[in-house]
Structure 1
Amino acid sequence: MFSATRFVRALSFVCLALWLASCSVVGGGKELTTYDLSAPASFDNLRGRSNAQLLISVPTALKSLDSEMIVVRPDNAEITYFGDAQWSDSLPNVLQDKLIQTFENSGRMRSVVKPGDGVVVDYKLATSIRSFELNDANRPVAKIALSVKIINDRNGRVVSSRLFKASAPAGSATPAKGVAALDSALESVLNEILVWTLKTI
């Protein structure tokens, strides 16, 4: 007869085996390098100033872009990711942070806030991420496309909208080179968004 003691020993062995297996999976996983993006800190020949209070919401994106993973396109139809690299947060959250930093660094807005700050605002900046990727179809190129709307918060009317695009050569399809190229392209886009917004509001 299968005694209670033998049953407990067998159960303990199974639990130990499962625990060791889980440790093996966790310990054997590939360590990810975490990357961040930067916001422009200096602005040459920047004109205009706004007395408006601007709210910058979290950008919207398709599921393929709404994560910490860094998108790589081996061709125009396929989406992959760097297996050993990630963003410091989900891409929409990172871009919201860099947009806010850009406007704050410029010193040209009365106030720049995000949802939940409890501030009455005049305008909202609504952004949609169309593309944010390293395209490796021919030569490695960082490609960014952001659709941006300025919305009057008092009446909900879209004051202006524009699609911002930029690209930068990466040199090679590695995480470090790809992120550096994306950072360069993003700096161009953020500068354009800043100038356009100041002219609009």
Structure 2
Amino acid sequence: MKKSQVRFTRFGGIGIVAIALQACALAAVGTSEAPDIYVLTSPMIEFGQNRPQISTQIVVDAPEAPAALNSNRIVFQPSPNEIRYFSGARWADRVPDMVQVLLVDAMDQGGRFQAVGPRSAGIRSDYLLQVSISRFGVESEGSEMDDVHVRINSKLVRRFSDTVISSRRFESVKESESTRTIDVVSAFDEASSEVLSAIALWAYDEIIAAERTEPAS
């Protein structure tokens, strides 16, 4: 039976886009063959009619991540104290960079904020969204490689006062259909879409609440 665990909110995942679909085995580090490259898709966020567009500009800060996640390697943890990587498969970018691009794109395409961008965009923002990635890998139960675990901690900061107005942890666990790389990456797509959608909706709601008490400007 397919498992799904989501914290704070749930949304359907979006399909995986893969530059190459060849399955690959697990290995500690390294492969002599050119790796297959995979990307994830931005979620289509359902803000709903009760969340109209607001005149708020947001900067999404560069995500923080531990050294094991700060690369383009696909992480596999056979136990809590051991980290391995998929051989012959890579993300198209470093995990923190990939997450930042996906989150900016999803929030921007949702059309509810006046502007959304990374720091490099030079936006004069009202709020800063800081994220820290603590889980972004495949975790084993016994000898089975089946669960994709994504966990991101988020803080929303008012730019002009540097005040943290809210913080929350978002988490999703998805079971892969099989140990084939394409199925594992598809589970990553579902889990990351749920987490990033939840972050965007949470940020919107927290900004609305904050502006009612003390406008950013």
Q: Same fold (TM over 0.5)?
A: yes
Gaps of 5+ in 2: 1-30, 208-217
CA distance in 2, matches of 1:41, 1:141: 23
CA distance in 1, matches of 2:172, 2:49: 19
CA deviations 1:25-83 (Å, max 9, x no partner) are xxx92120000011113527363233110001111001100000000111222100001
| 2:148 equivalent to 1:142 | yes
Letter in 2 for 1:107: G
Counterpart position of 1:109:
113
Letter in 2 for 1:52: T
TM-score (norm 2): 0.76
CA distance in 1, matches of 2:113, 2:54: 5
- TM superposition shift of 1:118: 2.0
Q: 1:32 to 1:196 in 2, by over 3 A?
A: same
CA distance in 2, matches of 1:134, 1:78: 12
SS in structure 2 of the partner of residue 74 of structure 1: strand
Please list every run of at least 4 consecutive aligned residues from structure 1 whose deviation after the TM superposition is greater than 6 angstroms. Answer: none
Relative contact order: is structure 1 or structure 2 higher (C-alpha 8 Å, sep ≥ 6)?
2
Q: 1:186 to 1:47 in 2, by over 3 A?
A: farther
SS in structure 2 of the partner of residue 119 of structure 1: coil
Counterpart position of 1:179:
185
Q: CA RMSD in A?
A: 1.5
Written as runs of structure 1 = structure 2, the 5 A alignment for 1:1-201 is: 29-41=32-44, 43=46, 45=48, 47-48=50-51, 49-138=53-142, 139=144, 140-201=146-207
Identity, in percent, stands at 27
CA distance in 2, matches of 1:44, 1:155: 28
CA distance in 1, matches of 2:49, 2:176: 28
TM-score (norm 1): 0.82
CA distance in 2, matches of 1:136, 1:31: 26
CA distance in 1, matches of 2:61, 2:68: 19
Aligned residues: 174
Please identify, of 116-125 and 159-168, the stretch whose mean Cα deviation from structure 2 is larger. Answer: 116-125
CA deviations 1:91-110 (Å, max 9, x no partner) are 00000000011101110011
CA distance in 2, matches of 1:174, 1:66: 23
CA distance in 2, matches of 1:37, 1:107: 21
CA distance in 2, matches of 1:170, 1:119: 38
Please identify, of 170-179 and 45-54, the stretch whose mean Cα deviation from structure 2 is larger. Answer: 45-54
CA distance in 1, matches of 2:67, 2:45: 33
Work out which of the two has the higher radius of gyration on C-alpha atoms and give 1 or 2. Answer: 1
Structure number with higher helix proportion:
1
